[in-house]
């Protein structure tokens, strides 16, 4: 059982390890997301970000190590603890033979949201994300952006205390992306903790309180953007420049020259 001090942390990863055969995807990582904090998880493709997020949610079981949610071990956790989590995957897999409102209502019911509250919240989200008027259409006919909106609504409908977002803004139009970003900041101000993975470094720099850079299954650095600039020896630089420096890809200009020959 975790200490009282640990219970003030929303999410803690302790020595997480995960392998796929001979490939060690995650190599003993430690990470803490405090209450009301947005932590950006950055890294190139194949760095272990999605694997880490799936272990946070209990979708994947770590080979060793533990995930703590509000001081309780996620492994063997009661369903009520897992209900405190909300998840938007990079590529949402929805029941496409349902309509948008049927799917969202189904998810809300599974989380135990009372019918009256469910109806009100669904109506608010449909209006806010401009899905009103399309809610009775089959998801199979939705655009990628519309499917992403359904996934976001489904992750938020039960008022989770921890959000795990893997490229959650993919496919959204500028208005919807701005609305979701503003909503995330509002939720964080109300104490919701957010683990946010993105390849768009400008979004991470503008939205996240802290950033963790992941590379080849481990963390290269963690901290505020200002702290990462100092660690990289690049004061006044952008997060993109820090990221490229730390992941050893700051020679991208030479690569472009080779590819353009």
Residues 153 and 164 in one domain: no
Could you list the residue range(s) of the whole structural domain that residue 100 is in? 91-159
pTM comes to 0.89
Q: What angle do CA 226, 214, 47 make, to 5 degrees?
A: 150
Residues 72 and 170 in one domain: yes
Residue-level pLDDT at 154: 96
Residues 47 and 166 in one domain: yes
Q: Return the axis-axis angle of helices 144-156 and 100-110, rounded to nearest 10°.
A: 20
Residues 80 and 176 in one domain: yes
Residues 101 and 219 in one domain: no
Q: Tell me, what CATH number does 46's domain have?
A: 3.40.50.300
Confirm whether 229 is domain-assigned: yes
Here the tokens at position 203 are 């979004």
Q: What is the pLDDT along the chain (261 residues), one digit of tens a residue?
A: 545 555 578 999 999 999 999 999 999 999 999 999 999 999 988 899 999 999 999 899 999 999 999 988 988 767 888 889 999 998 888 999 999 999 999 999 999 999 999 999 999 999 999 999 999 999 999 999 999 999 999 999 999 999 999 999 988 999 999 999 999 999 999 999 999 998 888 888 889 999 999 999 999 999 988 888 888 888 878 888 888 888 876 555 554 444 444
Final residue in a domain of this structure, among 132, 159, 186: 159
Final residue in a domain of this structure, among 111, 132, 159: 159
Confirm whether 1 is domain-assigned: no
Confirm whether 164 is domain-assigned: yes
Final residue in a domain of this structure, among 133, 159, 185: 159
Residues 134 and 205 in one domain: no
CA dihedral 119, 144, 188, 83 (to 10 degrees): 60
Confirm whether 128 is domain-assigned: yes
Look at the chain and report how many structural domains it folds into.
2
Residues 125 and 218 in one domain: no
Confirm whether 97 is domain-assigned: yes
Neighbours of 64 (CB within 10 A): 11
Confirm whether 138 is domain-assigned: yes
Residue-level pLDDT at 6: 57
């Amino acid at each position: 059982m975790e200490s009282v001090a640990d219970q003030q942390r929303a999410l803690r990863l302790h020595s997480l390890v995960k392998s796929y055969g001979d490939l060690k995807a995650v190599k003993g990582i430690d990470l803490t997301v405090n209450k009301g904090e947005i932590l950006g998880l950055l890294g190139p493709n194949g760095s272990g970000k999605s694997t880490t997020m799936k272990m946070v949610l209990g979708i994947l079981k770590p080979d060793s190590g533990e995930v703590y949610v509000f001081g309780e071990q996620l492994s063997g956790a009661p369903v009520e603890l897992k209900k405190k989590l909300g998840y938007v995957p990079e590529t949402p897999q929805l029941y496409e033979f349902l309509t948008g409102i049927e799917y969202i209502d189904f998810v809300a019911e599974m989380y135990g949201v009372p019918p009256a509250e469910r109806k009100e919240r669904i109506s608010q989200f449909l209006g806010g994300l401009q899905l009103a008027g399309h809610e009775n259409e089959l998801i199979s006919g939705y655009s990628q952006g519309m499917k992403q909106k359904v996934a976001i609504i489904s992750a938020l409908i039960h008022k989770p205390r921890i959000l795990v977002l893997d490229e959650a803004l993919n496919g959204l139009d500028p208005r919807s992306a701005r609305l979701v970003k503003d909503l995330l900041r509002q939720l964080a101000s109300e104490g919701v903790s957010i683990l946010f993975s993105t390849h768009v470094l400008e979004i991470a720099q503008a939205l996240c309180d802290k950033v963790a850079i992941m590379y080849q299954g481990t963390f290269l650095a963690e901290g505020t953007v200002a702290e990462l600039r100092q660690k990289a020896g690049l004061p006044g630089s952008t997060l993109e420049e820090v990221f490229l420096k730390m992941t050893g890809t700051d020679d991208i200009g030479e690569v472009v020259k080779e590819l353009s020959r």
